[in-house]
Amino acid sequence: MIWLAGAAEASDLPVSERANMASSDALSFAIAAALDQAKVTAADLGPVDIYSCFPCAVFAAMDAMDSPERTLGDYTLTGGLSFFGGPGNGYALHSLTAMAQALRRDGSRPALVTANGGVMSKQAVGVYSAQAPAKPWQGEVAGGYRPQSREIDHAPSGRGRIISFCQPMVQDIPGAATLLLDMADGRRALAVMEAAADHDLCGQYVQVMAGEKRHKAALE
């Protein structure tokens, strides 16, 4: 028999309002809460399967688990979503099945499985064991994640620093870039910048001019 020893979930803010663009605070919270509920640490884990819709989801979980002894292949039981099946195929159910099979082969260490939805928006984490937990799971899913949102400037003007951007390519020619900015007053803003030759825009500064339909930015 396989027991659920700990479970947690967290929903994050819209991307533009998140404090940190390089990690998932919601996933970090859910992993820590599930491990705490199961009374184990990341170092205690055996099989692990991270929901792998995109590499960023895997790397965010790796950062949250902080387990340097694991190699990249130690974070999947199926080979990863992109090789195993698409989101419409119910990947998390397959990863749970693979986890149960792994624990039945060797149940000496607990297992962890994650799932997410949206733009790294909704996180769910379960810790499972082939050994009956000292305290049976009572059906409680740990929650309580309360992120602090960044205020959005809807009419930005002045200097801003690029913290993330999206730039489409049309026949290998860069198009206009949509920028996510930290403004000088600490607020966030979105702006559009005409095609830039430099593809590594993060960290660069721009001047922003508010517009009626969209805000425009230009590199300093």
Instruction: Please state the domain extents for the chain.
Output: 3-129, 158-219
Residue 170 has pLDDT above 90, yes or no: no
Q: Which CATH architecture has domain 158-219?
A: Beta Barrel (2.40)
Question: For residue 89, what pLDDT is reported?
Answer: 67
Residues whose CB falls within 8 Å of the CB of residue 117, separated by 6 or more in sequence, listed in order: none
Q: What is the pLDDT of residues 81-107, one digit of tens each?
A: 777 765 566 888 999 999 999 999 999
Question: For residue 54, what pLDDT is reported?
Answer: 86
Report the mean per-residue pLDDT for the chain: 92
Confidence band of 3 (pLDDT split at 50, 70, 90): very high
Q: What is the pLDDT of residues 121-131, one digit of tens each?
A: 999 999 999 99
Q: What is the mean pLDDT of residues 127-140?
A: 88
Q: What is the mean pLDDT of residues 13-40?
A: 94
Alpha-carbon gap, residue 116 to 124, rounded angstroms:
6
Residue 149 has pLDDT above 90, yes or no: yes
Sign of CA dihedral 32, 100, 67, 136: positive
Residue 138 has pLDDT above 90, yes or no: no
> Bigger pLDDT: 40 or 82?
40
Residue 178 has pLDDT above 80, yes or no: yes
Q: What is the mean pLDDT of residues 142-159?
A: 94
Which CATH number is 3-129's, of 3.40.50.11540, 3.40.50.1820, 3.40.50.300, 3.40.47.10? 3.40.47.10
Give the burial class of 13: count Cβ atoms within 10 A of its Cβ; 0-12 exposed, 13-18 middle, 19 or more buried.
middle
